[in-house]
Structure 1
Amino acid sequence: MSSTEYTVRGMTCGHCAGSVTAEITKIPGVTGVQVDVATGRVSVESDQPISADAVAEAVDETGYEVVSA
């Protein structure tokens, strides 16, 4: 089990968090996603290594941007 933290720019509400969570959850191997809108932190738990590019692409699909991992 692995957990990686990302900072995402642009999230402002629960709907934002839900969109980001839903999209990241589609990545194979992801077992959990925790979003803190106030800080912009997104924690991704997985049962296998997940590439930062895959997470960035998923976040981009929702209209937000990963600014650091």
Structure 2
Amino acid sequence: MTTPTPPLLPMASDGCGCCAPSAPSTPSVKTSSAPAATKTNAGPDVPTVYQVTGMTCGHCISSVTKAVRALPQVDDVQIDLAAGGVSTVTVTGAASPQVVKDAIAAAGYSVIP
């Protein structure tokens, strides 16, 4: 006797840049009133928050975390994933916002300007 296989659930998105099918897709642009990087105080221990699009899964989180943690002067990286929406990447340390943005872009994701 075999156990019937339940039907697969539909995907919430077409996937991300790291695990999406190779078919070309039209990127969607989302706008936000939040700034791309905000720092509440000058100092190395104050977190900087980045609004990032294109992240859809745990692999995306891993890719961005690895890219940002590899930067000098980064102490910690925390990501609040909003699959298919605008995720929040919080970076603690003295790395410049432009260097962090470049690392996120190099990992394949977009920081909202």
CA distance in 1 between counterparts of 2:72 and 2:46 reads 13
Tell me the residue number matched to 1:60: 105
Consecutive unaligned residues of structure 2, counting only runs of 5 or more, are 1-44
The structure with the largest alpha-carbon Rg is 2
TM-score relative to the length of structure 1: 0.88
Q: What is the aligned counterpart of 1:51 among 87, 96, 111? A: 96
Shift of 1:53: 0.9
Deviation at 1:50, TM superposition (A): 2.0
Measured in 1, the distance between the counterparts of 2:112 and 2:70 equals 21
Which runs of no fewer than 5 residues in structure 1 stay unpaired? none
Aligned identity (percent) is 41
Larger strand fraction of residues: 1
User: Following the alignment from structure 1 to structure 2, what is the Cα–Cα distance between the partners of residues 22 and 30?
Assistant: 11
Provide the secondary structure at the position in 2 that maps to 1:2.
coil
Say how many residue pairs are matched: 66
Residue 88 of structure 2 aligns with which residue?
41
What's the counterpart of residue 20 of structure 1? 64
User: TM-score, length-normalised on structure 2?
Assistant: 0.55
User: Which fold has the larger relative contact order, with Cα–Cα distance below 8 Å and residues 6 or more apart in sequence?
Assistant: 1
3-state secondary structure, aligned to 1:12: coil
Higher helix share: 1
Q: Which runs of 4+ in 1 moved over 3 A?
A: none
Superimposed CA distance per residue, residues 4-60 of structure 1 (whole angstroms, 9 cap, x where no aligned partner): 1000010000100110000000111101000111150000011xx321110111001
